[in-house]
Chain A
Amino acid sequence: EDQVTQSPEALRLQEGESSSLNCSYTVSGLRGLFWYRQDPGKGPEFLFTLYSAGEEKEKERLKATLTKKESFLHITAPKPEDSATYLCAVQAQNFNKFYFGSGTKLNVKP
């Protein structure tokens, strides 16, 4: 069964305190792994796509990495504006089937 698990459920950091969010998955025939950011009351906003183990993508303070079983979203020196829920999704054999994790709610205190 295709499944995505994100940990931790919630994470509180001080401004400048780096950390990582985890997304572990089991899927038959991974097409791609996607990271999204979701602010309260809004729809998810695309951040990164990773396609194969060993791939890395960076954007400002965020860096996403992928292995055969999990992905990490590393946040370096976070700022309060990085506070949001971060969602991970995998795209399965069927291009139109995406499976989402329940997200990690990040709170960065000034």
Chain B
Amino acid sequence: NAGVTQTPKFQVLKTGQSMTLQCAQDMNHNSMYWYRQDPGMGLRLIYYSASEGTTDKGEVPNGYNVSRLNKREFSLRLESAAPSQTSVYFCASNEPGWHEQYFGPGTRLTVT
């Protein structure tokens, strides 16, 4: 099992450009998440999908959109990138309830 996979691993964008970060999991989990990690601030939840067909905002949703394409895939879109979105983005999944999350390897995004 690959677990949680993310593409791309690295990306450099110019201010105003758009891009989509892809995430897939092969553990048959119902819930999926997008986080960003910035130095000294820990992981912050951007959006989550409790189950296929549903999405909800987390702590820091402004400037992002998400799509739960099917049970396996959850994408994060930046419509007009800003330097403040420079960060490392992690996708995670778990089973709903009292269950730990499994994380992907991350996408390091730089916006110039």
Contacts and interface: CB of A to CB of B under 8 A. Distances in A.
Interface stretch (B14-22, B44-52, B66-74): B44-52
A43 B103 contact: yes
Interface stretch (A12-20, A71-79, A97-105): A97-105
Interface string B86-99: 00001010001110
B53 interface: no
Interface size class of A (residues with CB under 8 A): 20 to 34
B64 interface: no
Interface string A31-73: 1101010000111111001010000000000000000000000
Interface residues of B, number: 26
Interface of A: 4, 31-32, 34, 36, 41-46, 49, 51, 87, 89, 91, 95-98, 100-103
18 contacts: A4-B42, A34-B100, A34-B101, A43-B4, A43-B90, A43-B104, A44-B101, A46-B100, A91-B98, A95-B97, A95-B98, A96-B31, A96-B50, A96-B96, A97-B48, A100-B42, A102-B42, A103-B42
Interface of B: 4, 31, 33, 35, 40-45, 48, 50, 56, 58, 90, 92, 96-98, 100-106
Given A43-B92, A43-B103, 12 more contacts: A4-B42, A34-B100, A34-B101, A42-B106, A49-B100, A95-B50, A95-B97, A96-B56, A98-B43, A98-B101, A100-B42, A101-B42
